[in-house]
Amino acid sequence: MEIEHVDVDAVEAAAKQAGIDVEPTPGSIRLIQDKFVQKVHFAAHGVPLPEFREIKCKGCMEAAGRDFGFPFMLKSKR
Protein backbone atom coordinates (compact mmCIF):
# COMPACT_ATOMS: atom_id res chain seq x y z
CA MET A 1 0.00 0.00 0.00
CA GLU A 2 1.49 3.29 -1.06
CA ILE A 3 -0.68 5.74 0.86
CA GLU A 4 -1.86 5.54 4.44
CA HIS A 5 -5.09 7.50 3.94
CA VAL A 6 -7.38 4.49 3.63
CA ASP A 7 -10.31 3.12 5.60
CA VAL A 8 -8.36 0.60 7.69
CA ASP A 9 -11.51 -1.08 9.00
CA ALA A 10 -12.63 -1.74 5.40
CA VAL A 11 -9.19 -3.10 4.44
CA GLU A 12 -9.19 -5.34 7.50
CA ALA A 13 -12.73 -6.62 6.81
CA ALA A 14 -12.00 -7.27 3.13
CA ALA A 15 -8.79 -9.13 3.94
CA LYS A 16 -10.58 -11.25 6.53
CA GLN A 17 -13.45 -12.01 4.15
CA ALA A 18 -11.03 -12.94 1.34
CA GLY A 19 -8.81 -14.92 3.71
CA ILE A 20 -5.66 -13.06 2.71
CA ASP A 21 -2.88 -11.28 4.55
CA VAL A 22 -2.43 -7.58 3.88
CA GLU A 23 0.94 -5.88 4.11
CA PRO A 24 1.47 -3.53 5.73
CA THR A 25 -0.93 -4.87 8.33
CA PRO A 26 -4.01 -2.86 9.26
CA GLY A 27 -2.40 -2.29 12.67
CA SER A 28 0.68 -0.79 11.04
CA ILE A 29 -1.47 1.41 8.84
CA ARG A 30 -3.43 2.63 11.88
CA LEU A 31 -0.14 3.48 13.57
CA ILE A 32 1.20 5.56 10.69
CA GLN A 33 -2.09 7.35 10.02
CA ASP A 34 -1.59 9.50 13.12
CA LYS A 35 1.85 11.13 12.99
CA PHE A 36 1.87 11.90 16.74
CA VAL A 37 1.04 8.28 17.64
CA GLN A 38 3.72 7.20 15.16
CA LYS A 39 6.34 9.42 16.85
CA VAL A 40 5.35 8.18 20.32
CA HIS A 41 5.70 4.60 19.08
CA PHE A 42 9.11 5.27 17.54
CA ALA A 43 10.33 7.04 20.69
CA ALA A 44 9.17 4.12 22.85
CA HIS A 45 11.29 1.83 20.67
CA GLY A 46 14.44 3.94 20.86
CA VAL A 47 14.27 5.61 17.45
CA PRO A 48 16.10 8.95 17.66
CA LEU A 49 13.71 11.83 16.93
CA PRO A 50 13.74 15.60 17.21
CA GLU A 51 11.71 17.11 20.03
CA PHE A 52 7.98 16.89 19.41
CA ARG A 53 4.72 17.38 21.24
CA GLU A 54 1.03 17.11 20.65
CA ILE A 55 -0.70 20.42 19.93
CA LYS A 56 -4.34 20.41 21.03
CA CYS A 57 -5.12 24.13 21.09
CA LYS A 58 -3.87 27.59 20.17
CA GLY A 59 -2.34 28.00 23.63
CA CYS A 60 -0.43 24.73 23.19
CA MET A 61 0.90 25.99 19.87
CA GLU A 62 2.01 29.28 21.41
CA ALA A 63 3.75 27.40 24.24
CA ALA A 64 5.54 25.22 21.69
CA GLY A 65 6.79 28.36 19.97
CA ARG A 66 8.12 29.73 23.25
CA ASP A 67 9.73 26.40 24.18
CA PHE A 68 11.14 25.41 20.78
CA GLY A 69 11.73 28.88 19.40
CA PHE A 70 10.53 30.41 16.19
CA PRO A 71 10.20 29.40 13.49
CA PHE A 72 9.04 25.87 14.23
CA MET A 73 7.21 23.33 12.10
CA LEU A 74 3.60 22.53 12.93
CA LYS A 75 2.33 19.47 11.10
CA SER A 76 -1.11 17.92 10.93
CA LYS A 77 -1.44 14.64 12.82
CA ARG A 78 -3.51 13.02 10.08
The pLDDT tens digits for 15-37 are 999 999 999 999 999 999 999 99
Per-residue pLDDT reduced to its tens digit, 33-77: 999 999 999 999 999 999 899 999 999 999 999 999 999 888 888
Label residue 78 exposed, middle or buried (CB < 10 Å: 0-12, 13-18, 19+). Answer: exposed
Element (H, E) at 68: helix 58-68
**Predicted pLDDT of residue 2:** 63
pTM listed for this prediction: 0.75
Q: Where are the domains of the chain?
A: 8-68
Question: With contact defined as beta carbons under 8 Å apart, do 23 and 67 qualify?
Answer: no
Element (H, E) at 45: none
How many Å apart are CA 15 and CA 31, to the nearest integer? Answer: 18
| Amino acid sitting at position 66 | R
